[in-house]
Amino acid sequence: MELFDLLQYTFIQHALWGCLFASIACGIIGTYIVTRRLVFISGGITHASFGGIGIGLFTGISPILCAGIFSVLSAFGVEWLSKQKDMREDSAIAIFWTFGMAVGIIFSYLTPGATPDLSSYLFGNILMITIEDILALAVISILLIVLFFCCFHTMVEIAFDRDFARSQRQPVVVIEYLMMFFIALTIVASLRMVGIVLVISLLTLPAVTANLFTNRFKNMILLSIFFGFISCLVGLIISYQLQIPSGATIIFFSILMYAFCKMVKSIYICRNKKQNGN
């Protein structure tokens, strides 16, 4: 089936919009995460969101909504607990990581009726994305664009040198909690696409790939969005054609793209060294 023939299907159109807005949100947040070296914290929040999904299934409330609330509270908990003198950051992350997973498993098995199918939450399926999911990703993307446009220099200072930003009397604590809030929301909004198991890769891989070509914060964001959208788009097409899970396909292609870019950069550097040596 031709690519343009697929566009007549509504679920493909929804998936493409989801790819676009997820790429924007994850590109912005992912750049901040990679620059601040918050990948492990993001992984903890991601797995903690499973607690909200379990509670949502048990109570009959939207699992994604419950996951959002649970993730935000976990993000604030990790941020607060890691700042305590008697608690290491990795220990705080481990507490919320394991607590969320335990709560999710317990409540999902306590849910009345047949044991719910958790595969869509664990591994995602971009073809099942809804209008509500698209709107959530769009709102998050717009808010992040506005936030970074208004506070760009402050964000850069905090991302690269937190102590310097504090010495300049920047609102470091407020920005850190605000970014943890958006990290949690972006993670939950992307669950439908790639699932709990793989969402951390969607946040970090495009940013890491972009970092191969630039160290400038603004350029990293733009390249992250570009690489993220290409990964989602190609992964969507391949998964549809081969009838394989979309989340895993998107991440697998992201890794291939990173490896290819890394190889190209290494070859380019080697050639430059040889030319300079001669």
Read out DSSP for 50-67?
Answer: HHHHHHHHHHTS-HHHHH
Burial code (b: 16+ CB inside 10 Å, e: under 16) for 62-93 equals ebbebbbbbbbbbbebbbebeeeeeeebeebb
pLDDT at residue 237, as a whole number: 86
Instruction: Give per-residue pLDDT as tens, 36-79.
Output: 888 888 888 888 899 999 999 898 888 888 999 999 999 898 88
**Residue 6: inside a domain:** no
Tell which wins on pLDDT, 74 or 7: 74
Instruction: Look at residues 184, 155, 172 and name the one whose alpha carbon lies nearest to residue 83.
Output: 172
Least confident of 3-12, 15-24, 124-133, 244-253: 3-12
Average pLDDT over residues 19-29: 92
pLDDT at residue 84, as a whole number: 77
**Residue 238: inside a domain:** yes
Instruction: Look at residues 82, 72, 84, 69 and name the one whose alpha carbon lies nearest to residue 37.
Output: 82
Asked if residue 201 lies in contact with residue 187, where contact means CB atoms within 8 angstroms, the answer is: no
Q: Give me 15's structure tokens.
A: 């998936």
pLDDT band at 2 (very low <50, low <70, confident <90, very high): low
pLDDT at residue 63, as a whole number: 87
Is the pLDDT reported for residue 270 higher than 60? yes
- Residue 246 has phi, psi (to 5 degrees) of -70, -40
Q: Which residues contact 125 (CB under 8 A, 6 or more apart)?
A: 192, 193, 245, 246, 247
Instruction: Give per-residue pLDDT as tens, 104-157.
Output: 989 988 888 766 777 778 887 887 888 888 999 999 999 999 988 888 888 888
What is the tally of structural domains in the chain?
1
**Residue 4: inside a domain:** no
- In sign, the C-alpha dihedral spanning 148, 151, 156, 158 is negative
**Residue 1: inside a domain:** no
**Residue 7: inside a domain:** no
For the chain, the maximum distance between any two Cα atoms, rounded to a whole number of angstroms, is 74
CATH number at residue 236: 1.10.3470.10
User: Phi/psi class of residue 169: alpha, beta or left (left: φ > 0; alpha: ψ in -120 to 50)?
Assistant: left
pLDDT at residue 253, as a whole number: 92
**Residue 27: inside a domain:** yes
**Residue 185: inside a domain:** yes
Instruction: Round to whole Å and give the CA distance between 262 and 268.
Output: 10
Is the pLDDT reported for residue 97 higher than 60? yes
**Residue 178: inside a domain:** yes
Please provide the size of the chain in residues: 278
Instruction: Give per-residue pLDDT as tens, 203-260.
Output: 899 999 999 998 888 899 999 999 999 998 898 888 888 888 888 888 999 999 999 9
Domain that holds residue 226: 12-277
Asked if residue 210 lies in contact with residue 223, where contact means CB atoms within 8 angstroms, the answer is: yes
